[in-house]
Structure 1
Amino acid sequence: MAASLSPQNADIPGRLQTVLSAGFRFFFLSAGLFAVLAMLAWEFWLGMAAAGNGLPFLAIGMAPHLWHAHEMMFGYTAAVMAGFFVTAVPNWTGTKEAGRRFVAISGFTWLLGRLMIWFSGVFDPLLVAVVDLAFIPVLSTAILGRLTQKSQLRNLIFLFLLSALLIGNLLMHLDWLGWPGGDAEAGVRLGIFASAAMITIIGGRVVPAFTRNALNKEGHAGTLPQSHPWLDRAGILLALATTLACLPFVPMPVLGWLCLAAGAVNFCRLAGWKGADTRQNPILWILHLAFLLLALGYLVYGGSLVFELLSETAALHLVAVGAIGCMTLAMMTRASLGHSGRALKVPSAITIAYLAVIAAALVRTFGTFALDYYSVMLLSGGLWLLAFGLYSWVFFPILTTPRAHS
């Protein structure tokens, strides 16, 4: 390896070459930095609104709260998904990883989409829609061929969920264009619950497997994590049903009851995975807590729709910030360490990041019982900034320098 690419003295071109060498490097780095930047912009707008000061000019072409929801889902979350799938699918299929050219093209497409959304009040809205919607089809080209090539039939479900994510984004853009069929709120829900369904599937595979491997390595004498195929199938099918129930023509009470069922079944799945035995290992217990927040998120959101126990928006954030925020942070930290040749052990700063994103979810969901709206929003956003600021600070050198020698 050339000296310019060494971790100690890597120059900017060398770091860029390293970042583009693997999908997880580019997209996990971009996701972390974007999570900070997008939340800073949202916090700035909230602070101005709380102070009673209007902004003289906004470059966005939609309501600020919809811009925030869109960028957290179709900006941040989509980037994490890209990093995960571009890395995981070759491992599943035994095929070659996507090369620098694909990482550069897909990464540029994602970045261009962010530029269009952030300046959507300046550009033609149809151009904004076309550019922003292009990312998932581009990403899917690297996945579809590999899955069909190796007969990974069970994993084709992820293409369905990526399609649901694309439809959610489309619903938002149709609404902003003023075209028939548009529904921005439904688009946000569809994106969130498609992502939650991915967590239900992937989490159901990796959480018990990673826990079992770690406990075996430690010589654990007790019962190991147990999974039951019929319960797994029920949890996944209900998660997929909640995704479909987010479509605009489905009555909201139907979505509510499906969420209650999905939450109950996935909580039962989690109960057999021995989460209490991981309490000394942050990189493991965050996976269990993320899945717990998924199950609780389904239950709380279902309760908000069926029994009106909480506002729908607050309840939705337990899924969005809690389940999705925690699981994406957990997977980015674990995958970045493993695929860069480092030990699967996080520093204390990342443990703080895990706790901060959990706190952000709980404050955003339940904080209005004790605090006013703007205090809740600013505090929750600040905790999110702490979590992803720490992640970006710790993992920037890991993701921008070559693989460590074992």
Structure 2
Amino acid sequence: MEIIDRRKALGIPPLWRLAFRPFFLAGSLFALLAVPLWVAAWAGAWHGWQPAGGWLAWHRHEMLFGFAMAIVAGFLLTAVQTWTGRPSISGQRLMLLALLWLAARLGWLFGLPIALLTVLELGFMLTLAGLMGRMLRAVRQKRNYPIVAVLLLMTAADAEVMAGLFRGDDSLQRQGVLAGLWLVAALMGLIGGRVIPFFTQRGLGRQEMVKPVVWLDIALLVGTGLVAVLHAAGLALSPNPLLGLLFLAIGGGHLWRLLRWYDAGIRGVPLLWSLHLAMLWLVVACVGLALWHFGLLAASSPSLHALTVGSMGGLILAMIARVTLGHTGRPLELPAGVRWAFVLFNLGAVARVFLVPVWPLAGLWLAATCWSLALALYAWRYAPMLTRARVDGHPG
């Protein structure tokens, strides 16, 4: 049976053998084009063209539910095979899932009727949650059930956005996007808390991995989930000192974890410092939002972009760079020039968070240029890996 399964697996075109391949490639290409497209629209370049809900609604939704969820899908549907010991989605089924994701992206961009767009959008989210839930349930792996819960809550947040789009209610759309954003932050904290100490220990050849503080991990998950629920309910859109304390506590918890994980050796390993720096941006976002809720900052947008660009985007780039190497049978050594992608990405985050409030247009273009160049470097170096068979001859 193993020989038959192996032959069957090797008969699938490499791009469709595991979910990380199409989703990492499509997600990175989509994001490197979408950000400059949005900045050009913000600068007034597209007068006669409006996506569903307008350009602002498109940008808010697509960078989260389009780009980030593509990477989440690729990562989880690949990792679940390792977690459960069961084959994950591949071949025609994987192709159909990727086409569903692409149809939803094109539907938003070219303004499909809202009813059809909703079916495409929520269909992708529900299918992803269902696939994960079925594979985990088959082996009763309760430890990872919270991931399915987060995916279902993400689907609910997306449904809130779609309801806002249908009603023409921008506030409702914003509530759904912010709720979804903090759910992704919860997922980042959950997955990051597992893999970053492990990657650090393995990458530096240390004998022992830093053990998790279980109550802290649970508290961060619950606290970040609470932030998502409050945003979904519209209760976190205006300054509130109590929420400031909550954000301060979440930021402090993540900072404590980073200090525990820190090892001076990471400074010479881009695959490691990029992960740690991405989580540091999450601390910056939480502290900035705490200051906004305390009335000490005039706007929340820079802090939110510390989360979206610096932390979420930075963690995505660092993770897909490492995961692609490992799952294509290559040593964990960055291709030439890719370390500059990490540098560019973080420079872009600095521009978006700190320069845009002072020089809006110049800061946005600088941030967008750094973002797109970083993702273009990834696509250039990694597309051949994602579209070709593993170098060690194994399936996957």
* TM-score w.r.t. length of structure 2: 0.90
Matched with 2:61 is 70
Do structure 1's residue 241 and structure 2's residue 241 form an aligned pair?
Answer: no
Matched with 2:90 is 99
Instruction: Give the 5 Å matches for 1:214-225.
Output: 214-216=203-205, 225=210
Q: Secondary structure at the match of 2:88?
A: coil
Deviation at 1:119, TM superposition (A): 0.9
CA–CA separation in structure 1 for the residues paired with 2:11 and 2:374: 24
The Cα RMSD (Å) is 2.2
Do structure 1's residue 313 and structure 2's residue 312 form an aligned pair?
Answer: no
Deviation at 1:15, TM superposition (A): 12
Deviation at 1:179, TM superposition (A): 7.0
Write the letter of the residue equivalent to 2:57: L
1:171 to 160, 163, 167: 160
Do structure 1's residue 21 and structure 2's residue 9 form an aligned pair?
Answer: no
Do structure 1's residue 373 and structure 2's residue 360 form an aligned pair?
Answer: yes
Q: Secondary structure at the match of 1:272?
A: helix
Deviation at 1:182, TM superposition (A): 7.0
**Structure 1 vs Structure 2: percent identity of aligned residues?**
30
Matched with 2:351 is 363
CA–CA separation in structure 1 for the residues paired with 2:96 and 2:163: 26
Matched with 1:156 is 145
Write the letter of the residue equivalent to 1:390: L
Instruction: Give the 5 Å matches for 1:121-132.
Output: 123-132=112-121
Q: Is the contact between residue 150 and residue 183 of structure 2 (CA under 8 Å) also seen in structure 1?
A: yes
Write the letter of the residue equivalent to 1:339: H
CA–CA separation in structure 2 for the residues paired with 1:275 and 1:28: 29
Q: Which moved more, 1:342-351 or 1:262-271?
A: 342-351
Q: Deviations over 1:347-366 (max 9, x none)?
A: 34211111111111121111
Q: Secondary structure at the match of 2:226?
A: helix
Matched with 2:106 is 115
1:399 to 383, 386, 392: 386
CA–CA separation in structure 1 for the residues paired with 2:130 and 2:306: 32
Q: Which moved more, 1:240-249 or 1:376-385?
A: 240-249
Deviation at 1:141, TM superposition (A): 2.3
Deviation at 1:105, TM superposition (A): 1.4
Matched with 2:266 is 278
Q: 1:285 to 1:241 in 2, by over 3 A?
A: same
Deviation at 1:215, TM superposition (A): 2.6
Matched with 1:231 is 216
CA–CA separation in structure 2 for the residues paired with 1:311 and 1:225: 37
Matched with 1:9 is none
Matched with 1:61 is 52
Q: Is the contact between residue 172 and residue 182 of structure 1 (CA under 8 Å) also seen in structure 2?
A: no
Matched with 1:43 is 39
Write the letter of the residue equivalent to 1:242: V
Q: 1:332 to 1:305 in 2, by over 3 A?
A: same
Q: Is the contact between residue 174 and residue 182 of structure 1 (CA under 8 Å) also seen in structure 2?
A: no
Q: Deviations over 1:326-375 (max 9, x none)?
A: 11111111110000000111134211111111111121111145x42111
Q: Secondary structure at the match of 1:394?
A: helix
Write the letter of the residue equivalent to 2:215: W
CA–CA separation in structure 2 for the residues paired with 1:153 and 1:367: 45
Q: 1:182 to 1:169 in 2, by over 3 A?
A: farther
CA–CA separation in structure 2 for the residues paired with 1:256 and 1:186: 18
Q: Deviations over 1:149-206 (max 9, x none)?
A: 2222121111121122222222222112117897011112111111111010000011
Write the letter of the residue equivalent to 2:152: S
1:183 to 156, 172, 189: 172
Write the letter of the residue equivalent to 1:227: P
Write the letter of the residue equivalent to 2:370: L
Matched with 1:88 is 79
Matched with 1:3 is none
Matched with 1:7 is none
Q: Secondary structure at the match of 1:162?
A: helix
Uncovered stretches (5+) of structure 1, i.e. residues with no partner: 1-13
Q: Which moved more, 1:182-191 or 1:383-392?
A: 182-191
Write the letter of the residue equivalent to 1:65: L
Q: 1:157 to 1:192 in 2, by over 3 A?
A: same
Q: Is the contact between residue 15 and residue 400 of structure 1 (CA under 8 Å) also seen in structure 2?
A: no
CA–CA separation in structure 2 for the residues paired with 1:255 and 1:34: 34
CA–CA separation in structure 2 for the residues paired with 1:240 and 1:93: 26
CA–CA separation in structure 1 for the residues paired with 2:381 and 2:48: 35
Deviation at 1:255, TM superposition (A): 4.2
CA–CA separation in structure 2 for the residues paired with 1:93 and 1:328: 23
Q: Is the contact between residue 15 and residue 401 of structure 1 (CA under 8 Å) also seen in structure 2?
A: no
* TM-score w.r.t. length of structure 1: 0.88
CA–CA separation in structure 2 for the residues paired with 1:210 and 1:367: 33
Matched with 2:324 is 336
Write the letter of the residue equivalent to 1:257: L
